[in-house]
Structure 1
């Protein structure tokens, strides 16, 4: 706690500071001032928890100082010091609800007891105020939910909250719903940055005669209800959403949807419904997009089955035609056709699967490049959170396929089959050279010689390297225990796995994880 001592006698100020057992009183900081004017200035600057002040001082007495101080720091505890003759001052001090007063000359034990009581009073007031603020915040959050969806509690619950919070809502109050979809969990966003953004946003709203209610949902969505006495102009609403967008752009990807302006708390849900409808269509836009009632929908295009056309273009190795079909797919999926995101993902999965068929037939691997990326086609599709990302995924794989095709990068067919077999079965502890040779229908000696000549590695070296590379990916995820990881990558003996890992990486699995997660 912080203590401010105000007295016009230097010996008294210094003597009190030296005589008190500050540690026993849980006081870790003491500020001194020599009169009421300087005391008030110090109090507003330092925000002490307790003020110990003389009553009679030049320029501004202790009571006058305390009155002005409490206007801005109402939770501060006051203890007055006075001579017996200062009874009129003490009457005024009592009206200020001072915790205590002590008579001069001071008795240090009596003073310590008064300060201890003041500290307890300060903590009690602070706790009470914090509880009241928390309760009010919870009520405001409940109201923000009810304005979005009145059926959650009924109109009576909404009216009850409005009256309890004493909010100035009337038939002419205008509401606008803003929904922020954070693609990073809200719980991991930096608090200081979020607090700064909140302060800037509130200041911006206040400057334009607006206020807000807000709450959170599912660690992902921020529900904001803007309200004001008059209908805000479109440029004002645009500036509000742009301020939010600029704030979030530095910390995470997002979508922001804004509903139309409506009048009356009972109609706020209409703005919310429109905002949710816009947010549900965010899949079809780039991330970090702001969607408003004025967002123009794309012209509808008929969705036709172009998979056969896509397949023919691949078989004839017509890159421009393949890309053209991919472009048509993108435009149709993103147009006014009423497709759900899951349906769009299914479509792209089929096209990527067809591309992968032709790649494998030419001994080209599009999903196992560099022998470390074991992600499947479906994993790649599900990692795309928007249609533009799906479009870029398909287009990128098409370019990769034709690039490798033109450069003759396709591996020796037998080596290609061996690698694919190892990638799919590396988690089996019993995987052996005979298993590989049986899969490719060749003798073990021929398989070993061919693989070594083509890659420069023995089969066992390649398999060990691949297992360690895959385990490094799993170690980056703290959900997996190291003992489980060793079995997932084909090691039945955890100690042997650790020794092998250290030999290749130079660190133990636990050391590597600590380095990755630090």
Structure 2
């Protein structure tokens, strides 16, 4: 702990500093000041735990110094010294919550005992505040989880016996127990090369920032992700599409949420119709989800209100169009194949199917037809289930109909390019893929997606193309590349094992050991012992 001694008498300062064994009572550092003004400047920077301060001093007396410093640090323990039995000073000291008041001339034993008692009190206070901070940190971590669970109950089962009693705690759940309410829902899209593919950590970060934002707290907005990974906000009050009915507030909330989500996330906010009571919240939530889905046809942008929904119908897969696509591809008619996809996109816009998974599935069927045709003409091996799942994951994170169409076009272009280069001229593309892997496999963030982006192919087509050309999967090739480099480094006894792991892009040396043993059948140390003599 730190002790500041403030006294205008040099002899008293030095006596107190040098003739009491402060370390024996828990004081680690001692400093002095000759008056209140110097003490204030020092204390504001140094932050003492205990101050032993004379009352009467030039420039700034002890009482005024303590009063000013108390505004910055109300927890500091202050002990006053004075050679005068002045009742006004005593009253001021009491008002400033001084720990004690000692008379001059000083008695070293009394000073030591008083400071020792102040140290104990300060330690108790620090421990108490640490416990409070730990408790508050636990509350801060649990609040987003509690609020998310409440959101899920409100949009699915608001009549639950647990809902009404829980909402009595407005400090926890923010929204009013009385309606009306407006629900918003937002679909979020991001590229795994920018953020983790698993949404849990990203969602947790977004909710944490939402729950800390002062304007969100001021508007008393309850936020959470539903079971479909939509961000759901429940607002007390009625908000509709006109500015006189609260549109400006919704646009403000939209801007805040977009900022908190970050530039890497494409967010589509839909707003449901206001409802009068808690039991009607699911109806507002359903409309909000549909309004969010409608933005898939408009490439996002401003929030969409439920009154914009209009007519929307299920999209029906036309297998005749799939057959035509195969025929055009086998005949090498790329423009005609693209025309079929453009026609399908125009049809999709007439239906405005708000079941986006069903919409995407129709394009997935076209993609499967492209892959099957590539197999048929010998441009790729038979697509495995893992490759099909890969392709579905890619289209699942596409945020708009236009982008979905462009993705299919990219697959068509890649297929056509491979057909044109079937005489071996495509080896340049393969060389670029291999070169990129050798140059970047050790870097943080290196993924198959980063390779695909570099050579301008989809992940799915890249995997199929690589396997066709090399006779092994791209993951197998990356593993072989890492293993070859690892063995090369291990043969150099001057390179430590953890350095080998770092150079190969492993953040954890233990994981590198596991990786090496799984692929080589022995640990890195065992390999080194056997190969280096």
Asked if these proteins are the same fold (TM beyond 0.5), I'd say yes
After superposition, the C-alpha distances for 1:248-284 in whole angstroms (9 at most, x for unaligned) are 334x425353545858885894697258625973894
The 1:274–1:8 alpha-carbon spacing in structure 2 relative to 1, beyond 3 Å, is farther
CA distance in 2, matches of 1:272, 1:10: 75
CA distance in 2, matches of 1:61, 1:268: 66
The 1:5–1:153 alpha-carbon spacing in structure 2 relative to 1, beyond 3 Å, is farther
Bigger CA drift: 375-384 or 473-482?
A: 473-482
Offset at 1:399? 0.3
Offset at 1:78? 1.9
Q: 1:337 aligns with which of 345, 348, 353?
A: 353
CA distance in 2, matches of 1:62, 1:173: 58
After superposition, the C-alpha distances for 1:149-202 in whole angstroms (9 at most, x for unaligned) are 44366344234313x779795868977657685854688679999999987x53
Match status 1:89 vs 2:89: yes
In the comparison of the two structures, how many residue pairs are matched? 441
CA distance in 1, matches of 2:525, 2:36: 76
Match status 1:239 vs 2:247: no
Q: 1:121 aligns with which of 103, 118, 124?
A: 124
Aligned to 1:77: 76
CA distance in 2, matches of 1:314, 1:44: 77
Match status 1:146 vs 2:157: no
Is the contact made by 1:81 and 1:102 (CA closer than 8 Å) also made in structure 2? Answer: yes
CA distance in 2, matches of 1:275, 1:25: 67
Gaps of 5+ in 2: 427-468, 484-503
> Structure 2 matches for 1:138-177, cutoff 5 A?
141=144, 142=146, 145-146=149-150, 149-150=153-154, 151=158, 154-162=162-170
Match status 1:361 vs 2:382: no
TM-score, L = length of structure 2: 0.60
> Structure 2 matches for 1:168-247, cutoff 5 A?
181=188, 184=195, 201-202=213-214, 210=219, 233-247=246-260
Aligned to 2:398: 386
Gaps of 5+ in 1: 413-458, 504-518
Q: Secondary structure at the match of 2:258?
A: helix
Match status 1:109 vs 2:124: no
Aligned to 1:469: 478
> Structure 2 matches for 1:220-299, cutoff 5 A?
233-250=246-263, 252-255=264-267, 257=269, 259=271, 266=278, 269=281, 273=285, 277=289, 281=293, 284=296, 291-293=303-305
Offset at 1:70? 4.6
Q: Secondary structure at the match of 1:365?
A: coil
Is the contact made by 2:181 and 2:236 (CA closer than 8 Å) also made in structure 1? Answer: yes
Match status 1:404 vs 2:418: yes
Is the contact made by 2:50 and 2:78 (CA closer than 8 Å) also made in structure 1? Answer: yes
Is the contact made by 2:53 and 2:78 (CA closer than 8 Å) also made in structure 1? Answer: yes
RMSD of aligned Cα (Å): 5.7
Q: Secondary structure at the match of 1:160?
A: coil
Aligned to 1:322: 337
Is the contact made by 2:272 and 2:288 (CA closer than 8 Å) also made in structure 1? Answer: no
Offset at 1:113? 0.7
